[in-house]
Structure 1
Amino acid sequence: MHAAESGRSASDPVAVEVSHLGKSFGGRTAVHDVSFSVARGEVFGFLGPNGAGKTTTVRILGTLITPTSGSATVAGIPLTPENEVEIRRRISIMPEAPGLYRRLTVRENLEFFARLYGLSKRSARIEEALDAVNLGDRAEDPCGSLSKGLRQRVALGRALLNDPEVMFLDEPTSGLDPVAAHDVHGLIDSLRQRGVTVFLTTHRLNEAERLCDRIAIMNTGLQTIGRPDELRHTLFDRSLEITTSAPLPDADLVFTGLPAVEGWQHDTRVTDGTTGYVLAVSDPAQAAPQAVRALVAAGADVLSISEARHSLEDVYLELVEDQEGGSR
């Protein structure tokens, strides 16, 4: 699988393009030879263990630090020192710690940052941002009186002030309860609908699986990239999981030779008194009906049959659990 292209068409407009990017701090390599592209309007997940180089990559793309090697284009602009101001006009970065002034109201915070950014039509932009994050009724509340979930929404509103083409969100649901995290997920979905490119770093794998069009897994270098379903199918063989009420007298006779079935084994994870089998298959849609017919013909009481579903967590652990992380 070609890391830079998997899961997207070559004709898709590009929001971020990274080519052989590297960053070293002294003799320590934080990011090594990373290449990928992000389409406009895509929610792109950037995953990896602590020290994998995720934050360093985001800081490079956000013009906060310069790369040691390689090149990049952000919001259609080459990442060079002379273009940094223009890139900053077109992007927003929401760090894990939002850095709001707690004694100021929500509106005063947005007003302060709008002035800091030198934005025109500040009042209109503030109202649009408040509306986008559903905080119009809390605009006059001090930020210190808000829950962490609401403060994250204020931070998202702040990041929307300059109407960015690309938003970098670093752990936007860190420390939030499920209800608050769900609200932030809804806001990210709304950004996608508005055509904003979202570059999302997160440790919540279920969050990435729910939100992201494609996912990259980092560990100093880029380990893989693609759609979640594509990564599952690439890394894991397809299989059927079968549960029967009692062991088959001759399972080999039942399963061997069935169309699209390449092998079978006992499922040792089944410990509730029933019996489990795992069939390695080339085509689950073809193999499942054939297996059911063979089991019924053998007099088996079939309790369940389903294709094995590997989660994004399975993919993640398969790629990084045995590797040493780099530098964050």
Structure 2
Amino acid sequence: MIIETNNLTRKFGDRLAVDNLNLTAEEGKILGFLGPNGAGKTTTMRMLAGLISPTSGYAVVDGIRPDKEAERVHEIIGILTETPGFYNNLSAQRNLEYFAGFYNLSDASAQIEKYLKLMELWERKSDKVGTFSKGMKQRLAITRALIHRPKILFLDEPTSGLDPEVSQEVRGLIQNLSREGYTIILSTHNLSEAEQLCHRIAVIRSALVTLDTPANLRKRLFKHQTMIKLEEIDENLIQAISKLDYVNKHSREENTLLIELADPSKHQSDLIKKIVEAGGRIIEVTDKKHSLEDIYLSLLNEEEKI
């Protein structure tokens, strides 16, 4: 694991922002941080990046303790904060040259040109950043995070303020960076974005609620349901389904039946046969797929009951 935390804790006065957090990140994979506002996602990122120290516990990032050797960590990470800071009176290129100077890059100009073009900012390289829109500043911040070829990227709301087309381009860039071997920690409120990008999801609410792949979370939280859309549903059909001993549960949403089977692989074909015999005219048979939003809300509801 390229990142590990051990009872990572951070307090701000009496407020507990991060509570004994234990998680891992796999090298070359995208780990998503999900949680409500104030859950500690950004605070966790800042501790992993060596920007603030934990109150107790510790993290290890590529073999380095950020609280002990922050400068070494800064050499191997790129970070995009939710509110990236730039010198508004300097041009985009001059801003990047200034930040690149911290890394003593021999090819800084080439890297700056490469990513400004990738982010479609090359034509505005000489313009003052103060004239940029929020979306343009966000693209510039991603450029800044990449110019020194970091091993790990911390991205806090990377598509915030971007229009849908640019957001999709940024997501494509993130996927490409992952394929190239970058480890990415992604904090986002956009659940569809997390589902599209992340190999694993860490749901955080001060403490870690869970850490797993979206597929495993679905299996853990939800029973398999078969969705059968029909031309119409009458009471005789409902009664016929209710009598089947392998049907654990069933419900109806307009002209669609949601059926939980004891063993879907064994019983689904017989279920379809029985529906047809009962006069049902089937339009479509699919498996219900629970979205990441369903998973997220279920986990937080479970956590509130504890």
Equivalent residue runs for 1:82-93 within 5 Å? 83-93=69-79
Is 1:202 aligned to 2:201, yes or no? Answer: no
Q: Relative to structure 2, which stretch is displaced further, 69-78 or 223-232?
A: 69-78
Correspondence for 2:236 among 231, 234, 249: 249
Is 1:306 aligned to 2:291, yes or no? Answer: no
Counterpart Cα distance in 2 of 1:112 and 1:67: 29
Q: Secondary structure at the match of 1:249?
A: helix
Q: 1:282 to 1:79 in 2, by over 3 A?
A: farther
Q: Secondary structure at the match of 2:33?
A: strand
- In structure 1, the residue matched to 2:270 is 290
Q: Secondary structure at the match of 1:169?
A: strand
Is 1:68 aligned to 2:55, yes or no? Answer: yes
Equivalent residue runs for 1:153-164 within 5 Å? 153-164=139-150
1:16–1:37 Cα contact (<8 Å) kept: yes
Correspondence for 2:155 among 169, 174, 177: 169
Counterpart Cα distance in 2 of 1:250 and 1:210: 38
Q: 1:15 to 1:137 in 2, by over 3 A?
A: farther
- In structure 2, the residue matched to 1:226 is 212
Equivalent residue runs for 1:1-328 within 5 Å? 14-81=1-68, 83-244=69-230, 245-254=232-241, 256-257=243-244, 261-267=246-252, 269-270=253-254, 274=255, 276-321=256-301
Q: Relative to structure 2, which stretch is displaced further, 164-173 or 130-139?
A: 130-139
Counterpart Cα distance in 2 of 1:122 and 1:307: 51
How far is the alpha carbon of 1:130 from its aligned partner? 2.9
Instruction: Give the TM-score normalised by the residue count of structure 2.
Output: 0.90
Counterpart Cα distance in 2 of 1:298 and 1:16: 57
Counterpart Cα distance in 2 of 1:254 and 1:122: 68
Counterpart Cα distance in 2 of 1:102 and 1:66: 29
2:237–2:275 Cα contact (<8 Å) kept: no
Structure 1 ranges of 4+ moved more than 6 A:
none
Counterpart Cα distance in 2 of 1:59 and 1:205: 22
| Identity in percent | 39
Q: Secondary structure at the match of 1:77?
A: coil
Counterpart Cα distance in 2 of 1:154 and 1:126: 10
1:21–1:72 Cα contact (<8 Å) kept: yes
Question: Unpaired runs of 5+ in structure 2?
Answer: none
Q: Which amino acid aligns with 1:162?
A: H
Q: 1:282 to 1:36 in 2, by over 3 A?
A: farther
1:255–1:294 Cα contact (<8 Å) kept: no
Aligned residues: 303
Q: 1:286 to 1:139 in 2, by over 3 A?
A: farther
Counterpart Cα distance in 1 of 2:17 and 2:163: 32
How far is the alpha carbon of 1:58 from its aligned partner? 0.8
How far is the alpha carbon of 1:163 from its aligned partner? 1.1
Instruction: Give the TM-score normalised by the residue count of structure 1.
Output: 0.85
Q: Secondary structure at the match of 1:33?
A: strand
Greater RCO, 1 or 2 (C-alpha within 8 Å, sep 6+): 1
1:238–1:282 Cα contact (<8 Å) kept: no
Q: Relative to structure 2, which stretch is displaced further, 121-130 or 108-117?
A: 121-130
Q: 1:146 to 1:297 in 2, by over 3 A?
A: same
How far is the alpha carbon of 1:141 from its aligned partner? 3.5
Counterpart Cα distance in 2 of 1:162 and 1:28: 36
Q: Which has the higher helix share?
A: 2
Q: 1:65 to 1:233 in 2, by over 3 A?
A: same
Counterpart Cα distance in 2 of 1:154 and 1:321: 38
How far is the alpha carbon of 1:120 from its aligned partner? 4.1
Counterpart Cα distance in 2 of 1:238 and 1:87: 44
Q: Relative to structure 2, which stretch is displaced further, 218-227 or 187-196?
A: 187-196
2:226–2:260 Cα contact (<8 Å) kept: yes
How far is the alpha carbon of 1:239 from its aligned partner? 0.9
